[in-house]
């Protein structure tokens, strides 16, 4: 709770007792619960500022922005975006412009106070965050730069959710789970959020700005609409928008964008917090954005040492009485859980509530069963897997998620969704929770040989048919699922920019997966990016890659020789050989349109490095180079580009 010296004379003796770990956790928990008894609220002023500088150097004083308050603030929290747009800054995450802007900030601070530098954090496109404890309050500050372009508001929503999910801080106590952004007392979020003004022509927007009719304009603000629908920034508030949009200006002026794109003005630069008051300064003309600032007065919990000492002593005496009389005990809301229709890469969760029905707090943990390495199967997780329950109850999420590592054995029926969890109480007994489910087989995580034998969608086939690999008169040359994805991209995405590089939407991937597994549609749904990502996920999930593991060494030894490459390909199992030729023919077809899609051999080789098959990446990259010269002399008889895409 606090990095201070023990204030009880007998504390060292108490901490030496056998159950020190449990007692210490209990004391911390009780101190938190009774925090109001030994703390009082003191207000501190926080200056929050955000500025997209568009890669420019500081040319003007920042004082009109940073020193605009009557009295100096207690804290400065300043966020910059696009500090350096050079390739070197992107690759090495280092820029000489950072010291220049830091110096400009120092010079622009309020002159009536002295400030100490605390922390800086660099990044590129996404978010950086810091957390700190001030007295007894935890504060998290996030600086984010979300996806651009008017139509990409859903991508910005997803960026926000990904930042909240992936941004984690390691606690001082490594036995505790990581801290997320939303686990703090105060969260301050600022940056270039890139939400735009929708459904209005640019001239209409400028006319409303000229009339200072910001209320009408604000009703078309994407962030306001998304917050009203509780899609993003749930629980956050924002100050009144009573200033003109901060984006986009001609650099170095107050004139709206006069470039060919003539972008619609928008409030891209935002500050969200648990308070009020935001004010905007229009004096700086360095960037195509304008800086935004907000002065917040935040109530901080400050410890009264005498009250803290009394509370601590009362808690210790109370714990002593409880430990002498009671042992821990809990009851569970449910002992058996069944997950219906589990699908590949589709998260499902159910909640078990653990009630502390005993007289003392308890420490719980899921423990492995005899001779098992983990407390659960790899497709299952409990969150939290351990914890401390003082009184009342705690919800534990039982989460099922089948990925590339667990799908193959579930598809083949070698494994089922069945497990028993053992919930152990420290100094108490064990409780058993049964988890079952039915998994819907998927082409994702199935072998190429199996899929070539299946004439019908995989979910229309009995499990024993899939498991026994029935012989057919003539197996398909390649799995129909690969053909559907490649055929879709061949027809629709040959000229698509950033193909295989821009991720798709999770919801569209799920539709594509269901379409392939059930045969419910003749054409694939979703965008080209979602289909291309589905193809990569399909290849990544193969139990045996297109180039089987046993061929890796040979591939590396001969990949610089085109004739030896073709010899290796001829030795592959028939379905693997067909798929390899089919995919490389498709990649060669994409290279014909490189002037439009901006793909080259290196990009097509590198993209597979994000997945499991490094060897295949190297081999394909070199094979394509070799084929580029070979194809000038002759074409593949069976898998020429034309025949490849008419085979079905």
Q: Which of 32-41, 256-265, 281-290 has the highest mean pLDDT?
A: 32-41
User: CATH 1.10.555.10: which residues of the chain?
Assistant: 448-630
What pLDDT was estimated at residue 4?
A: 34
Which pLDDT belongs to residue 259?
79
How far, in Å, CA of 122 to CA of 124, rounded? 7
pLDDT category at 633 given cuts 50, 70, 90 is very low
Reported confidence tier of residue 611, pLDDT bands at 50, 70, 90: very low
In b/e form, how buried is each residue of 518-542, taking b as 16+ CB within 10 angstroms?
ebeeeebbbbbbbbbbbbbbbbbbb
52, 269 contact by CB (below 8 A):
yes
Among 94-108, 266-280, 367-381, 402-416, the minimum mean pLDDT is found in 266-280
Q: Answer yes or no: are the C-beta atoms of 59 and 286 closer than 8 Å.
A: yes
Angle, helices 614-630 vs 562-571, to 10°: value is 120
- Count CB neighbours of 373 within 10 A: 6
pTM over 0.85: no
Q: What is the pLDDT of residue 565?
A: 78
Tokens read off for 18: 């056998």
**pLDDT band, residue 518 (cuts 50/70/90):** very high
Classified as helix, coil or strand, 77 is strand
In this structure, of 78-82, 122-126, 194-198, the range with the lowest mean pLDDT score is 122-126
Pick the CATH number of 448-630 from 3.30.70.1140, 1.10.555.10, 1.10.3720.10, 3.30.1490.100: 1.10.555.10
Q: ∠344-345-350 over CA atoms, to 5°?
A: 100
- Asked if the model's pLDDT at residue 386 lies above 90, the reply is yes
Contacts of 553 (CB under 8 A, 6+ apart): none
Q: Of residues 482 and 460, which shows the higher confidence score? A: 482
Q: In whole angstroms, how far apart are CA 280 and each of 44, 269, 378, 403, 481?
A: 21, 10, 51, 47, 54
Nearest-5° Cα angle at 324, 323 to 330: 45
Contact (Cβ atoms closer than 8 angstroms) between residue 619 and residue 569: no
- Asked if 402 and 347 count as a contact pair (C-beta separation under 8 A), the reply is no
Rounded CA separation 561/443 (Å) = 34
Question: Residue 138: pLDDT above 50?
Answer: yes
523 neighbors 488 (Cβ within 8 angstroms):
yes
Please write down the long-range contacts of 522-528, taking CB distance under 8 Å and 24 or more positions apart. Answer: 523/488, 524/484, 524/485, 524/488, 528/488, 528/489, 528/492, 528/493, 528/496, 528/499
pLDDT beyond 80 at 631: no
Q: How far apart are CA 242 and CA 250, in angstroms?
A: 22
Answer whether residue 436 shows pLDDT above 70.
yes
The residue behind tokens 């990044």 is 123
The answer to whether residues 547 and 581 touch, using CB atoms and an 8 Å cutoff, is no
Mean pLDDT of 438-454: 93
Confidence of residue 26 (pLDDT cuts 50, 70, 90): confident
User: What's the pLDDT score for residue 113?
Assistant: 93
| Run of H or E residues at 432 | strand 430-439
| Residue 75 or 469, more confident | 75
Per-residue pLDDT band for 320 (boundaries 50, 70, 90) equals confident
pLDDT number for residue 480: 94
DSSP codes joined into one string, 450-466: HHHH--S-GGGS-HHHH
- The pLDDT > 70 percentage for the chain reads 85
- The whole-chain average pLDDT of the chain stands at 84
Report pLDDT digits (tens) over 222-232. 999 999 999 99
Confidence grade of residue 620 (pLDDT, cut at 50, 70, 90): low
Closest CA to 427 of 118, 42, 9, 17: 17
CB atoms within 10 A of CB 87: 8
Superfamily designation of domain 330-439: Immunoglobulins (2.60.40.10)
In the chain, what are the helix, strand and coil shares in percent, each to the nearest 5? 35, 20, 40
472 pLDDT band, cuts 50/70/90, is low
- The Cα 621–Cα 608 span in angstroms is 10
What band does 606 get if pLDDT is binned at 50, 70 and 90? low
Q: What is the CA radius of gyration of the chain?
A: 30
User: What would the pLDDT profile of 37-48 be if each residue is shown by its tens digit?
Assistant: 999 989 999 999
Q: What is the pLDDT of residue 16?
A: 36
239-270 pLDDT, tens digit each: 888 888 988 887 777 788 787 778 889 999 99
Contact (CB, 8 A) for 530 and 509? yes
Strand partners, 179: 169
- How high is the pLDDT of residue 635? 39
pLDDT at residue 83 tops 80: yes
Specify the pLDDT at position 567: 84
Lowest mean pLDDT segment, chosen from 365-369, 462-466, 613-617: 613-617
- Rounded average pLDDT over 568-584: 89
Rounded alpha-carbon distances, angstroms, from residue 117 to 78, 106, 295:
12, 9, 19
What is the token pair recorded at 349? 């969760």
Instruction: State the Cα–Cα distance between residues 288 and 276, nearest whole angstrom.
Output: 26
- Decide if pLDDT at 618 tops 60: no
Is the confidence at residue 465, as pLDDT, over 70?
no
Instruction: Tell me: pLDDT of 57 over 80.
Output: yes
Mean pLDDT of 65-72: 90
Burial of 616 (0-12, 13-18, 19+ CB in 10 A): buried
CB atoms within 10 A of CB 20: 11
Q: Is the pLDDT of residue 123 over 80?
A: no
Stretch 173-190: mean pLDDT: 87
The per-residue pLDDT for 8 is: 33
CATH code of the region 35-305: 3.60.10.10
* pLDDT beyond 60 at 644: no
d(CA 203, CA 553): 64
pLDDT value for 88: 72
Band the pLDDT of 455: cuts 50, 70, 90.
confident
All CATH 2.60.40.10 domain ranges in the chain, comma separated:
330-439
Q: Where do the CATH 3.60.10.10 domains begin and end in the chain? A: 35-305
> What's the pLDDT score for residue 340?
96
**Dist. CA 45–CA 133, nearest whole Å:** 16
Q: What is the mean pLDDT of residues 110-120?
A: 92
Q: For residue 37, what pLDDT is reported?
A: 92
């Amino acid at each position: 709770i606090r990095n201070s010296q023990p204030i009880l004379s007998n504390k060292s003796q108490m901490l030496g007792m056998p159950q020190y770990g449990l007692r210490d956790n209990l004391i911390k928990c009780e101190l938190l619960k009774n925090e109001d008894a030994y703390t009082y609220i003191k207000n501190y002023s926080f200056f929050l500022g955000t500025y997209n500088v568009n890669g420019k150097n500081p040319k003007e004083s920042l004082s009109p922005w940073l020193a605009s308050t009557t009295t100096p603030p207690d804290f400065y929290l300043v966020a910059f975006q696009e500090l350096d747009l050079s390739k070197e800054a992107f690759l090495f995450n280092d820029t000489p412009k950072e010291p220049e802007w830091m110096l400009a900030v120092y010079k622009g601070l309020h002159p009536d106070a002295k400030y100490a530098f605390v922390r800086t954090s660099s990044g590129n496109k996404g978010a950086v965050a810091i957390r700190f404890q001030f007295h007894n309050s935890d504060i998290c500050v996030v600086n984010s730069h979300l996806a651009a372009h008017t139509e990409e508001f859903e991508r910005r929503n997803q960026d926000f959710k990904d930042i909240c999910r992936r941004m984690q801080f390691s606690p001082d106590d490594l036995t505790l789970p990581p801290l997320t952004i939303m686990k703090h007392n105060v969260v301050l979020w600022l940056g270039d959020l890139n939400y735009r003004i929708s459904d209005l022509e640019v001239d209409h927007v400028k006319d409303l700005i000229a009339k200072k009719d910001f209320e009408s304009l604000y009703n078309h603000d994407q962030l306001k609409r998304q917050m009203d629908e509780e899609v993003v920034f749930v629980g956050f508030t924002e100050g009144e928008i009573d200033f003109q949009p901060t984006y986009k200006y001609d650099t170095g002026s107050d004139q709206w964008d006069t470039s060919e794109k003539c972008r619609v003005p928008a409030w891209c630069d935002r500050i969200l917090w648990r308070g009020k008051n935001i004010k905007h300064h229009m004096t700086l003309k360095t960037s195509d954005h304008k800086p935004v600032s907000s002065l917040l007065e935040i109530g901080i919990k400050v410890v009264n040492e005498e009250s803290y000492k009394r509370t601590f002593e009362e808690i210790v005496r109370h714990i002593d009485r409880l430990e002498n009389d009671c042992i821990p005990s809990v009851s569970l809301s449910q002992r058996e859980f069944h997950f219906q229709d589990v699908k590949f890469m589709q998260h499902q969760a159910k909640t078990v509530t653990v009630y502390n029905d005993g007289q003392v707090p308890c420490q719980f943990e899921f423990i492995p069963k005899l001779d098992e390495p983990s407390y659960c199967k790899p497709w299952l997780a409990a969150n939290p897997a351990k914890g401390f329950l003082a009184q009342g109850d705690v919800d534990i999420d039982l989460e099922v998620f089948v990925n590339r590592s667990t799908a193959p054995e579930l598809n083949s029926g070698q494994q089922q969704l069945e497990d028993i969890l053992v919930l152990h109480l420290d100094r108490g007994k064990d409780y058993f929770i049964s988890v079952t489910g039915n998994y819907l087989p998927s082409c994702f995580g199935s072998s190429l040989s199996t899929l070539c034998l299946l004439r019908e969608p995989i979910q229309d086939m009995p499990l024993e048919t899939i498991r026994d690999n029935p012989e057919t008169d003539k197996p398909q040359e390649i799995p129909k699922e690969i053909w559907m994805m490649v055929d879709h991209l061949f027809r629709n995405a040959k000229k698509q920019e950033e193909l295989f590089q821009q991720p798709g939407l999770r919801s569209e991937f799920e539709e594509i997966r269901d379409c392939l597994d059930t045969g419910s549609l003749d054409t694939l749904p979703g965008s080209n990016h979602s289909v291309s990502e589905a193809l990569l996920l399909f290849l990544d999930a193969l139990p045996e890659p297109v180039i089987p593991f046993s061929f890796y060494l040979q591939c590396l030894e001969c990949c610089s020789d085109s004739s030896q490459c073709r010899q290796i390909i001829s030795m592959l199992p028939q379905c693997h050989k067909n798929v390899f030729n089919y995919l490389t023919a498709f990649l060669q077809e994409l290279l014909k349109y490189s002037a439009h899609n901006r793909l080259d051999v290196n990009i097509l080789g590198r993209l597979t490095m994000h997945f499991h098959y490094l060897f295949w990446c190297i081999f394909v990259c070199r094979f394509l180079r070799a084929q580029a010269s070979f194809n000038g002399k002759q074409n593949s008889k069976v898998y020429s580009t034309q025949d490849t895409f008419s085979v079905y």
